[in-house]
Amino acid sequence: MKFVASRFLCGSYSLRIAVHSYLVVGFWDVHLVAVTLRIDTRRYSMEHATQNLGEEVARAYERIRTRIWKTPLMFSSYLSVEDSTQVYLKLDSEQITGSFKVRGAFNKILTLKKTSPEVLTRGFTTASTGNHGLACLYACGSCGCALEIFCREGVCPSKLAALQSLGATVTLYGQDCVDAEIRARHTAESTGRTYISPYNDVDVMAGNGTVGYEIYEDLPEVDYVLVAVGGGGFIGGAAAYLKHRNPNIQVIGCQPRNSKVMYESVKAGHIVHEPSLDTLSDGTSGDVEDKAVTFPVCARYVDDWILVGEQEISDAVYHILNTHHKIIEGSAGVTVAAYLANKDRFKGSKVVLVLCGANIATDTLRNILDQHKT
C-alpha cells in the first residue's frame, strides 16, 4: 500500500489531504481514493480561531456581558507615586465567584448552547485548582447543567471547601493539575459529557480575554498590562484583544519562579515540562498540556516575562490589603510583585496590574499578616 500526502493553502486555512492507494496492476484504485480523502477541518478551524482571537474576544464579550460583572479599573495613588507613572488595578478579584474565570466558563457554555445545545443535557466535566471549578459550577448552575470537577490532591483547602459547600461533585486526582485535567478529559470521553478546559480551549481563552476588552474600553491609552500566567489562556485572550486594538500596548506575563512552565516553554520554543514547587500563587501553579492552543498565542502576543519570588508575592498581597484594603490571592499578588520589583522600567507610563482573584485561604492570609507584623 502507498501513502501520498499533499498540503494546499486556501486563504488562512490549509487543507491536508491524505490519499491511500493499492498497487493494482499499475493503476490507481479510484474507489479507494474516493473513500480515503480526509480533510482535518477541526484543526484548521482551530487555527483560524486563534489567528482571529482578538475578534473572538469582542464577540465573547457581547455574548457574556449580561452574565458577568464589569469590574472596576481603579487608579492606585499608592503605586503611582514616582516619576509620573500612573498605575491602575483591574479588580477582577471582585468578579462573580472571586476570579476572572467565570468569563471563560460562561463563554464556553453559551457558545455550545447556540451551536450544540444537546451537549448541555449530558453535562460537563472540568479540572481546576479551585477558581475555574467555582466558575464552571456557577455557570453550569445558571444554565441548568450538571458538572463534575476534578482537582489535584493538593488543591487549596478553602477553594475545595467552597466548591463542596455549593454542592459540587468533586473528585481529587493526581499531584499536578495536568493529572486532574487528563482524568477529567478521559471521564468526559467515556461518559459522553463535554470537558471544559481551564485554559486549553479557544472559547475559554476568548471569554477570559474579555478582561482586556474592558481594560481597553476604560483606558485606551494604556502602555503596559501585567497579567499572571498559568496555562496561558487568560493572558492569551487579553493580549490578543489588546494587540488587535493597539499593537503598541505591551503585555507582560508574570509568573512565580516556583512554577514557570509557560515562561520556560516560550523561551525554548516548545512546551517544556518541569516540576512546580509550592507557591502562594496556587491559581497559576502546574504544568501545561502538550499541544496547548495557548502556547502559540503566548509566544505571539506576550511581549516579555517577569518572574517573582515567594516573599515578593507575600509582600504584594500585604501591600494591597494594607493600602487599598482589598483582599487578593497569591496569583493576583504576582502582578503587583512584578511591578514593585521593576518600577524603573515603567517610569512615566500608564500601567494596568490585573488582579485576577481573591480566593485566598484564611490560614494563608493569616501567615502573610503574621510575617508583616511591626
Which tens digits make up the pLDDT trace of 351-369? 999 999 999 989 999 999 9
Confidence at residue 49, expressed as pLDDT on a 0 to 100 scale: 54
All cell numbers assigned to 215: 481594560
pLDDT at 300 (0 to 100): 96
pLDDT number for residue 39:
31
- Other beta carbons within 10 angstroms of residue 198's beta carbon come to 29
**Nearest in space to 163 (alpha carbons), one of 198, 197, 129:** 129
Residues across the chain: 374
Q: Are 144 and 254 in contact (CB under 8 A)?
A: no
**Within 13 A of 332's CA, how many CA atoms are on the CB side?**
28
Helices 101-115 and 210-218: crossing angle in degrees, nearest 10, is: 120
Q: Which residue has the cell 477582577?
A: 92
- Please report the pLDDT score of residue 51 as a whole number: 78
Closest CA relative to residue 261, chosen from 279, 237, 240 = 279
Residue (of 181, 183, 185, 217) closest to 289 by Cα position: 181
Whether the Cβ atoms of residue 101 and residue 208 lie closer than 8 Å to each other: yes
Side-chain-facing half-sphere of 156: CA atoms under 13 Å: 29
Return the pLDDT at 211: 98
At residue 161, φ and ψ (nearest 5 deg) are -65, -40
256, 310 contact by CB (below 8 A): yes
CA distance 337 to 228: 10
* Grid cell digits, residue 294: 495557548
Task: Please state the pTM of the whole predicted model.
Answer: 0.84
Cβ atoms of 19 and 33 closer than 8 Å: yes
3-state secondary structure of 24: strand
| Helices assigned H by DSSP within 192-329 | 202-208, 210-218, 233-245, 261-268, 294-301, 310-324
Q: Point out the residues of the chain with pLDDT beneath 70.
A: 1-50, 129
DSSP string, 201-219: SHHHHHHHTHHHHHHHHH-
DSSP 8-state assignment for residue 72: -
Cα 257 from Cα 274, distance rounded (Å): 12
